[in-house]
Structure formats: C-alpha cells, structure tokens
Structure 1
Amino acid sequence: MADITPTLLRRRLGAALKTLRVRAGLNLAEGAKLLGVSSPTLSKVENGRQRTDPERFIAAYGVANAARIAEIREIARLANSSRHQRLYVQYKDVISDRFADFLEMEQIATRIDLYAALLIPGVLQTVDYASAAIGSISVLRTTRETRASTELRMKRQEVLTSPSLALRCVLDEACLRRELGGLSVLRRQLEHLLTISQRPNIELQVIPFKAGMHTGLDGAYTVFHFDVGSPVVAVEPLTTSHYLEEDDQVARYEVAFDRLRTQALDPEASRDFIARIAKETQ
C-alpha cells in the first residue's frame, strides 16, 4: 500500500496503536510478527503513513480496556472520514501537507476558537473577498490556482451548517476596515458577517481599536477542539501553519482566547459595531 500524508489524526491513531504495542511489552519486530506484517509496514502505520484497521491491533495485543478501545475506534473513524479526504483529493494541487492538517481539523472539530488580527477568517469570507485576499497574499499563484483556492475556501464553509460545530470568533477592528477588492466588496463582506453571526452555533465578537493592548497582538491563531483527544492550536504566519499540541502550550492560548472574549465587545454590541462600519462604506 502506498504511503499517505500523515495528517494529525493519522499520526494520533498511529501513536495510539504504538502505545498499545508498548504496553503489551512488544518491540517493533515482535509486534509486526504478531500482526503478520513486516517491521517497516508496522513502522509506517505507527507514524501515520499507512492506513490500517485498528481492530487487528486490539485483538493481537489483547486490549481489554473498554474506554481505550472506544477512543481508538473513534480516532480511526475520524481519520477515515470521507469529507476532508474528498476535499483533499479534489483540491490537492492547492493544498500543502501542512494545510491538509488544518483542513482535516476544521472538518472534524466540535468547537473552533478563532482570533483574526488582520483579515476576515477564510471560513467567514464571501467569495469576492476570498478571491481578493488570495490574489493579494498569494502573489505567485496562477489564475487557475487562485480560482481553485477560492472555491475550496467556499466549500470549507459548509462546516458552519453543522449543528455539532460551535464557532467562537474574535476579530480585531483592523479586519473590518481593511479594503480588499474595493469598498463594495468590503461592504458585502461586513453584511455577510452580520447575517452569519445570527446563527445559533456562531459567536462573533469585535475588539475595537480603543480597547488598546490585548492578548491577541502577537497574531492570528485557531484552537481546534475535538470529541476525542486534546485540542490543537494552529498559529498562522504568512506562508504556512505551525501546530501546537503540548498541553502547556495549548493552555496558554486557551487562556489568551478567554481574555480576548472578555476584552471584546459582546456579540450584540459587536453586530452594532460592524453595522456602523458597513454604513461608512456606502
């Protein structure tokens, strides 16, 4: 079987299966022999580079802990979820390996906490705003790549219709005032924010300039929460994303996000604030 991209969930599944082997007192060669595979094959599975059926491991390693079995089965179910895989296959030409992680997490998260410092987040963008943003930032993209990236961004937004997802977003005022594609594009984008913020699973808040210093001045980030496993933080510089999974690192961002929500206008006041800026663009 060909190697696959070791996305976050595949790595987590592989790590969980490796833990089962170690707890069973087996080295790599012994585990491979028990499973009837080669050591290199087992190594690929444990590193998230090859798909597998976890039931074989549960049976071979004699796992009896019901909670542990349930957790591994759920990780495997999410890792094999068809939606993010379909998007990856359809848009693989414009999805880097690092962004494949982001896409996967966005599709299977049960809560997303998002802070944006400069631009409206992709998952909340209109098609015209997205096209302008992608065209401005990705100066080396071809027209075809820009079109495909914009289309992918629109398809990603389908997650917002899921009742199982809660999105909490804090926007710096700079996001609301930066023109991309002209005033009419910005106005429609702000109007879209007003509409989408009415959804019961979306909480949108704004930090105005007059709030002064706040805990988001280091830049944008996203905290993904899941039914299974620990949260993951995606920190987003210009060209890629960095992922933080250590508990102490994630905890710092969770505390910072809670402070941002406290410093920001409440959702109703935020809508009024956005509406006033939208009127200024007329």
Structure 2
Amino acid sequence: MPNRRVISDHSQEPRLRFAEELRRLRIGKGVSLRQLGERLGWDWSLFGKMERGKTLGGPEVVLALEQFYRTRGLLLALWEVAAGDKPRFQERYRRYMSLESEAVSLWHFGVSVLPGLLQTPGYAEELLAAGGFRGEELRQQVEARVGRQELLTGDYTTPFRTILSEAVLRTALRDPDSWREQLEYVMEVVERPDVTLHVLPFSAGMYGLVSTDVWFLRLPDGRTVAYTENADRGHLIEESDAVEHLQRSYDAVRDLALPPAESRELIERVLEEAPVCART
C-alpha cells in the first residue's frame, strides 16, 4: 500500500490544485500556452510556470485568466487558498472582477493616479513600489498590470472613457525619462477609436468626486454597477439608486472637463514642459 501523503499547514496541495485547474481549463479551451500568451498579452512562459506550480502569478494575471475562462470567481478563490495567506480580495471585490469580465463598456474617473489600463511599466513599478511591493512580487505585479491593457489593444477591445484630474498629469515620476515615456504613451492610447479621455483642469474648481476614484461597468443586460476606491479600500455598488447618484456626479464632472481635443492639447503642453534627463 502506498504511503499516505501527510497534509499539514504547509502542504503544497492548494498550489498544485490551482496549477492543475489552470492546465485543465486551457486544454478544455483548446489553446496552447503560446496562444494563451498572445491572447492575454503576457509572456507565455509565465503561464507555463503557473501550470507547473513554479509561481502563482499576481492578482491581475489571475483576473485576466478568470475573464478569459469565465470561471466566475473559481480561479481567484483557488489562488487565494494557494497563496496561503488571508484572502486577498473581499467578497465584493471578487464580485466586481466577475462583473468586469462581462462588461460591454467601462468608464472611469481618476483623482490622483492613472488607471492601470494607461500605465507604462515604469509608472506601474514606481506606483506599486510606493505601495510596498518589492523584488519578484513587484516584478510580477508590474507584468500583470501592463498585461491587462489587452482590454484596449486586443482583437476584442472594450470601449473605455476616462476623466483624469489635472493633478494626475502634474504628479510626475522621479525619473524624467520614464515620465516622458508615460505621457507619450497616454498620447498614443487616446488616438485609439475605443478610448476617450477628458482632463478636468484645475480651473474647474471644486467638484463632487473630489476624493474618489470610480469605475462604472455597463453590463450586457443593460445594468450599470460602480466601484469606488481610495488608498485603503474599495466598494462595489450595485443598488440602482446609489449608482444613479454616482452617475450624476460623474456627468457633472464630465461637464466641467475639457473635451477630448483640448484634453490632448493639455497633455501635449505637459509633455513639452516635462524635464529631459541628461544622461552621461
């Protein structure tokens, strides 16, 4: 009789269960690792390592897989257990990510930082490092965040509208070259047909969403849900009256914001004013 495997607090079983599920889903979908990488925008070798249990990947790559396979929370739950720590996502955030995978359009308001869909690797690295990420975990988080931009660049893009406070564009990175690269990338992205960007200038004065980043998701059934977040927490809002209240605030902010053409001109001015790093 074979020896029974001992299950302890440090068992690798949850990690292996997660890896096995990833492989099962991919084979069931009929795609190779390379094809998966091409469709989601990550290096295919990362998915190979995840399927062999060599790495768990970051939350955003798991979210991308969740959306691709449409597992409605299963992969995120397995990933949390495999991580062996307290759950990374509250139930409402799990619900939000599930709904995001179904959304037919997205719109957003940013108070102080660019949304992940518009971030370059340099911007994402400095922002995540400021949030406490280090080493390999930081590298994975940056890779995962940039990979999510497949929503805007893939074959099946999701219409995306964002309003950015001028403060977002005036809060530069420490490295001048990285900052210029970020501004140039924003200028490139806003030329895409499914992306609309407004800048809310300082001259607009006070406004209703002064301390809140907010996302709205339009779902296939016509409903709209909202997700608000600050530095400490996020909150999913599905109640129609509360969502409508936020939408009115968002519409009021959009009325104060510059139209897309003038917004691009403002970004161009910020880019012209950005310092150039003289490398020796």
* TM-score bin (small chain): 0.5 to 0.7
Equivalence for 1:238: 231
Matched, 1:280 2:277: no
Equivalence for 1:251: 244
Equivalence for 2:36: none
Distance 2:72 2:95 in 1: 13
Equivalence for 1:270: 263
Distance 2:143 2:201 in 1: 31
Matched residue of 1:170: which SS? strand
Q: How much does 1:174 deviate?
A: 0.5
8 Å CA contact 1:115–1:169 kept in 2: the answer is yes
Q: How much does 1:87 deviate?
A: 8.2
8 Å CA contact 2:73–2:95 kept in 1: the answer is no
Equivalence for 2:179: 186
Please give the per-residue CA displacement for 1:197-235, whole angstroms capped at 9, x wherever unaligned. Answer: 011111000011111112221321111111136222111
Equivalence for 1:174: 167
Please give the per-residue CA displacement for 1:57-102, whole angstroms capped at 9, x wherever unaligned. Answer: xxxxxxxxxxxxxxxxxxxxx8961698778878975982235444
Q: How much does 1:159 deviate?
A: 0.9
8 Å CA contact 1:197–1:203 kept in 2: the answer is yes
Runs of 5+ consecutive residues of structure 2 not aligned to the other structure: 1-13, 15-66, 276-280
Read off the aligned partner of 1:240 and give its amino acid letter: R
Q: How many residues end up aligned between the 2 structures?
A: 205
Q: How much does 1:106 deviate?
A: 3.3
1:1-282 to 2 correspondence within 5 Å? 81=70, 93=83, 96-98=88-90, 99-136=93-130, 138-139=131-132, 141-161=133-153, 163=156, 165-228=158-221, 230-282=223-275
Distance 1:128 1:89 in 2: 30
Q: Rg: which structure is higher?
A: 1
Q: How much does 1:181 deviate?
A: 3.6
Distance 1:252 1:120 in 2: 24
Please give the per-residue CA displacement for 1:143-178, whole angstroms capped at 9, x wherever unaligned. Answer: 222111111111111111354521110000000011
Read off the aligned partner of 2:121 and give its amino acid letter: V
- Identify if the C-alpha distance between structure 1 residues 200 and 184 changes in structure 2 by more than 3 Å, giving closer, same or farther: same
Matched residue of 1:195: which SS? helix
Distance 1:161 1:205 in 2: 20
Distance 1:277 1:87 in 2: 39
Distance 2:161 2:207 in 1: 17
Matched residue of 2:231: which SS? coil
Read off the aligned partner of 2:146 and give its amino acid letter: M
Q: How much does 1:131 deviate?
A: 0.7
Matched residue of 1:108: which SS? coil
The CA RMSD measured in Å over matched residues stands at 3.0
- Identify if the C-alpha distance between structure 1 residues 126 and 164 changes in structure 2 by more than 3 Å, giving closer, same or farther: closer
Please give the per-residue CA displacement for 1:90-140, whole angstroms capped at 9, x wherever unaligned. Answer: 89759822354444333331111100000011111001100110111x22x
Runs of 5+ consecutive residues of structure 1 not aligned to the other structure: 3-77
- Segments of 4+ moved more than 3 angstroms: 82-95, 98-107
Q: How much does 1:142 deviate?
A: 3.3
